[in-house]
Amino acid sequence: MDLSRPLGALFVAPECAPLTKTGGLGDVCGALPPALRALGIDVRVLMPGYAEVLRAIEPRRLAVARLLGQQVRLLEAQLPNGVPLLVVDCPKLYARRGGPYLSAEGADWPDNALRFGLLCKAAALLASDASPLAWRPDVVHCNDWPAAPAAAFMRFDGAAAASLVTIHNLAFQGLFGEEWVERLGFPAHSFGIDGIEFHGRLSFLKAGLSYADAISTVSPTYAQEIQTPGFGCGLDGLLRHRANVLTGILNGIDGAVWDPRTDTNLARTYDAETLEDKAHSKAALQRAMGLPVDAAVPLLGQVGRMTAQKGADLLVESADALAAMGQVAILGTGDRALEQAFAALARRHPGRIAVRVGFDEGLAHVVEAGADIFLMPSRYEPCGLNQMYSQRYGTPPVVHATGGLADTVEDGVSGFAFRDYSAGAFLGAVGRAVRCRADARAWRAVQRAGMRRDFSWSAAARRYADLYRSLAMRARA
């Protein structure tokens, strides 16, 4: 491989903070590319020209192309963190009121196959000799189902670059009707069980997993779990078959945004030596949520999507017992039925359980800092960020020992874990945390153990950089 120029990587991102974010994937796409650039990798992010993206950047037009029957402009700009950004501009498909995947009313965009198929075609074009740019990536890094088919297109086109597909959540696969196979330009022979077909439908994620040179997911434990029927979402057989190219690399967290020493959302900042100042955030959280201000009562906090994946149903089932152990402060949005169940709990336990339905970044910081104990009973968790934030904020988490939660929380050392997925086991772990908190010395030790841990992106980026290098080497060989 040519060592005289830096290794080039095209990072295909369906969402990217701070321009657009619906969850942890947006955080990863915002944070990993700059960490890779700091290691000397020439990473460029490719994403669709959503309305909010076009509003936030000052683009330069690079090229025009016709892809999948659409007139497309390729724009170049910079992300606020300085990473070069390539934008697939096709206003008819992307510049709409609503989110990256859903309309403002919360329904899937009916043309998502075309919207993300086009993103993948553009990625494959930039990796090919027909690219309108002089720059060529050595590696194309495809994130989740909306970007996964780029790996398949590259294989069919005989691209020289290597492909990596990262699974951020296997449950979202991008399933579409068979009619899209031809419309998106997949060869007919690929629509079979060894290719892009999943039970009679086109699977975007499977297209990537079948043809990528390498596959990664966002924690070592999840990489093992998805090879089993219980976690494999119907793809465990394929993932076992591809186990030799499958690895788990833990996500990092953005240490500039999530730092109790500098966090401007907090009533008072603090560090491991001034943990008594955390009390100001606790009082602020109690006030913000309408709970009685009380330093002594254990305050249990939770932030996240209100879905079965995040264990929202387990929280509802455990709520009466939790309210007997302390105050509970919950921030989240998600399934309507679960949102209503939480609102009903708050009505049943006034002054004990408080619920804020909505997305509120500032309040999320206050929960992480102000709670005594953070609750994260996810049924499964590819990596999870909130349990890392909470450890950094000296708020020991109670977690289900699965996926990234098992890899980032040390039971009895930096948090508390339970194995069986049941309300009894969950409440047992919360009880252990509450009892530990009653012993001030032991509690400080758990808080400080969490605060000392290195969850930085630079550690994760080094592992991705090694993977990129080995892939580029093989592609050139």
Binding footprint of ligand ADP on the chain (CB under 6 A): 23-24, 27, 303-305, 331-333, 359-361, 364, 384-386
b or e along 314-331 (b: 16 or more beta carbons within 10 Å of the residue's beta carbon)? bbbbbbeebbebbbbbbb
Nearer Cβ to ligand ADP (304/450): 304
Residue nearest to ligand ADP (CB): 24
Three-class SS of residue 395? coil
Smallest distance from ligand ADP to CB 331, Å: 5
Answer left, alpha or beta for residue 82, where phi above 0 means left and psi between -120 and 50 means alpha: left
Nearer Cβ to ligand ADP (88/306): 306
Residue type, 125: L
Nearer Cβ to ligand ADP (27/263): 27
**Of 262, 420, 287, 294, whose CA–CA distance to 354 is shortest?**
287
Smallest distance from ligand ADP to CB 121, Å: 27
Q: Which structure tokens are listed for 126? A: 């930039």
Smallest distance from ligand ADP to CB 461, Å: 18
Nearer Cβ to ligand ADP (298/332): 332
Smallest distance from ligand ADP to CB 359, Å: 4
Smallest distance from ligand ADP to CB 215, Å: 19
**Of 33, 160, 12, 6, whose CA–CA distance to 86 is shortest?**
12
Smallest distance from ligand ADP to CB 128, Å: 32
Smallest distance from ligand ADP to CB 89, Å: 27
Nearer Cβ to ligand ADP (179/361): 361
Nearer Cβ to ligand ADP (213/254): 254
**Of 469, 455, 453, whose CA–CA distance to 384 is shortest?**
455
Smallest distance from ligand ADP to CB 166, Å: 13
5: which DSSP letter? S
Nearer Cβ to ligand ADP (258/464): 258
b or e along 212-238 (b: 16 or more beta carbons within 10 Å of the residue's beta carbon)? bbbbbbbbbbbbbbbbeeebbbebbeb
**CA–CA dist 435, 373 (Å, integer):** 11
Nearer Cβ to ligand ADP (22/247): 22
The CA-CA-CA angle for residues 352, 397, 16, to 5°, reads: 105
Three-class SS of residue 418? strand
Helix (DSSP H) and strand (DSSP E) numbers for the chain:
19, 18
- Cβ–Cβ < 8 Å for 253, 458: no
